[in-house]
Structure 1
C-alpha cells in the first residue's frame, strides 16, 4: 500500500446548528499534514458532529474549512474520498457477528471495487488477491494488530475482542484504503490508563507515518493540537488554545470550538443535517 500523504486541516468560524442549538460554533484551527488533532469534550458536547463535519459527513451551518485543499462545505464528496472513519457509533461500526477475517476481506474487496482504478480491476485474479493481502498486512501492521494473538486468530468474532483490540481493528480497516486523514470517535472510551496510553501511541504512530488523525476523546494527550467542545463548567462553551508543544508536527496555533448544546445536541444536529 502506498504511504498516504496527510491532509492539512484548516477552519475559520466553523459552526453547525441543530434544532436545539449549536452543536459547535466559532471553530478556528490550522493543522499541518500528519498532525494528531484531539477533539476533547464530554459526551453530548458536539464533538462527534465536529469530527463528521471536518470529514465531509455533515454540512456546516456557517464558516468554512479545508481538508487537503478541498473546501467545505462545497467539496464534501471529495473530502469524503480522502478521509476514512475509524469507529464512529451509528456511522461506522464493526459488526459484532463478523470475524476479524470477514471484516478485513470485505474492506479489501470494497476498496478494490470502488477505490481502485479500472486497470487494477482488470489484473489477473492471483495478482488482485496478492495486492489485497498486501494492503491488509500493511494496515494491520500500522494498527499494531496481530490476528495470531487473538483467541481464535482471524476467526475471532468482533464480539469477543477487547475494547483496544476492536479499536486497532477499526483503524486497520480504515487504513486499507490509504486515506490522507483518519477520524476516530470515542478514542479513550472504556479504556484503562495503560490501554489509553496504548491507543494514543497507536494514533501518534499513524500520524508519524504521514496520515493526519482527528480523534474524539474525553481527555486529550500531551503534544496533540487540541480542540475543546463545551463543558458543563463552561457555560459559554469556549474552546482552549492548543498546547505549545510542537512535537507532533502541528503549528502552535489556537483552536476554539463553541459547543453550546447539552446531551441531545449531537443527535439533533444529525436530524437536521443528515449524513452524506
Structure 2
C-alpha cells in the first residue's frame, strides 16, 4: 500500500464504467504521483463526472484497473472513499442555498469531529474539541482562499448570495476539513470568467503543491501548464465484441460490492454529505494522460449519453 502521508498516487489502465444502456466512459489510462493536479477534460456528457465518482469509490467500474493510494478499485471502494473527498458535485456533494456559510462550516466540522476522528479525540474536553474544530475550519478556509470578511454578510452570508468562485472555494474548504489524500472537484470552470478560472486553477495548484492530490473536472485545462496531468474523455473506439456494444447491461455503479466486505471503513470525507457542489456529466469516452486531442463523438453518441445518464441515475443524481 502507498505509504505517502499526504497525497495519494492515482493510476488507471483500461478503466471504464458501464450503465444499463451503454458505456459511460472506457479505456482511461494515466499515472499521477502523490500531490499531482489531474485535469479531466471533455465536453459535457463525455463521462467526466462518472470518472470522478469511480476514482473516488462512489461508482463501480466495469472494465480495466485503477488504484488510489495503493488501494485497488473496485475491490477496495470503501477504503478509497475514506481517503477521498468530493467538492462541487450536485446531487452528491452539494451546497444548500438556504444555509449560510457558517452553518455549512459548523455542520461539516461537527460531522468530522463525530465520525472522522479517533475515539481518543471524542473523549477530550469540550473546549479542546472546539479549538481543534476551529483550527480545522480555519486551515481549510485558508487553503481554499475563502476570506469570510470579504463576503457580503461575513460568515452569515447565505450560499445563494455567493459568487460562483466563492461557492467553489466554500465547496473545496468543506471537503478539505476531512483531510483527504485525494480531493475531487467537479466542473471546476463552470460559468467562470477568465479571471475567475485563473483564480480557481491557482487555488487547486496550491492545494496540490501543499501535498493533496487534486482531481479536477473541467472544460478547458490551463494552457501550457506542464505540471498538470491531463486526462481526456470524449471519443470512443468501435466495440471489440458484441458484449461491448452500447445497451448491454453489466456492472451496477455505486452498488455494494461483494469484494468490499473486508472494508468496514466509511468515508472520512463524507460519501453523501460532503457539503459541496458541481455539474453533471456522463457519456461514453476514452482518455489518456497524453496530449492526444479529444476525439469527435461517435455517431451513436446519444446511446452513450443514455448509458452515462443511467450510471449517474443509480447514484441518485438524475
Aligned to 2:234: 230
Matched-pair contact (CA < 8 Å) for 2:22–2:308: no
Alignment of 1:45-64 (within 5 A): 45-64=46-65
Aligned to 1:242: 290
Matched-pair contact (CA < 8 Å) for 1:4–1:179: no
Aligned to 2:266: none
Change beyond 3 A, Cα 1:199–1:54:
same
Matched-pair contact (CA < 8 Å) for 2:42–2:294: no
| Aligned-partner Cα distance in 1 for 2:103–2:231 | 36
Change beyond 3 A, Cα 1:110–1:255:
farther
Matched-pair contact (CA < 8 Å) for 1:34–1:210: yes
| Aligned-partner Cα distance in 2 for 1:192–1:30 | 30
Select between 18-27 and 206-215 the one with higher mean Cα deviation. 18-27
Aligned to 2:164: 163
Look up the SS of the partner of 2:75 in the other structure: coil
Aligned to 1:266: 308
Q: CA deviation at 1:170?
A: 0.4
Q: CA deviation at 1:63?
A: 1.2
Q: CA deviation at 1:52?
A: 0.4
Give RMSD over aligned pairs: 2.4
Cα displacement string for residues 230-270 of structure 1 (whole angstroms, at most 9, x for unaligned residues): 15xx7765535435xxxxxxxxxx99999865444432112
Q: Which runs of 5+ in 2 are unaligned?
A: 239-284
Matched-pair contact (CA < 8 Å) for 1:46–1:259: no
| Aligned-partner Cα distance in 2 for 1:161–1:272 | 30
Q: Which runs of 5+ in 1 are unaligned?
A: 244-253
| Aligned-partner Cα distance in 1 for 2:296–2:105 | 38
Matched-pair contact (CA < 8 Å) for 1:88–1:184: yes
Matched-pair contact (CA < 8 Å) for 1:4–1:178: no
1:84 aligns with 2:85: yes
Cα displacement string for residues 14-70 of structure 1 (whole angstroms, at most 9, x for unaligned residues): 111112211111111110000000000011111100000000000000111110011
Matched-pair contact (CA < 8 Å) for 1:184–1:216: yes
Cα displacement string for residues 154-190 of structure 1 (whole angstroms, at most 9, x for unaligned residues): 0000000000000000000000111000000010001
| Aligned-partner Cα distance in 2 for 1:46–1:257 | 13
| Aligned-partner Cα distance in 1 for 2:61–2:207 | 27
Matched-pair contact (CA < 8 Å) for 2:29–2:287: no
Matched-pair contact (CA < 8 Å) for 1:15–1:62: yes
Q: TM-score, normalised by structure 2?
A: 0.77
Select between 9-18 and 159-168 the one with higher mean Cα deviation. 9-18
| Aligned-partner Cα distance in 1 for 2:148–2:237 | 46
| Aligned-partner Cα distance in 2 for 1:41–1:130 | 42
| Aligned-partner Cα distance in 1 for 2:56–2:180 | 11
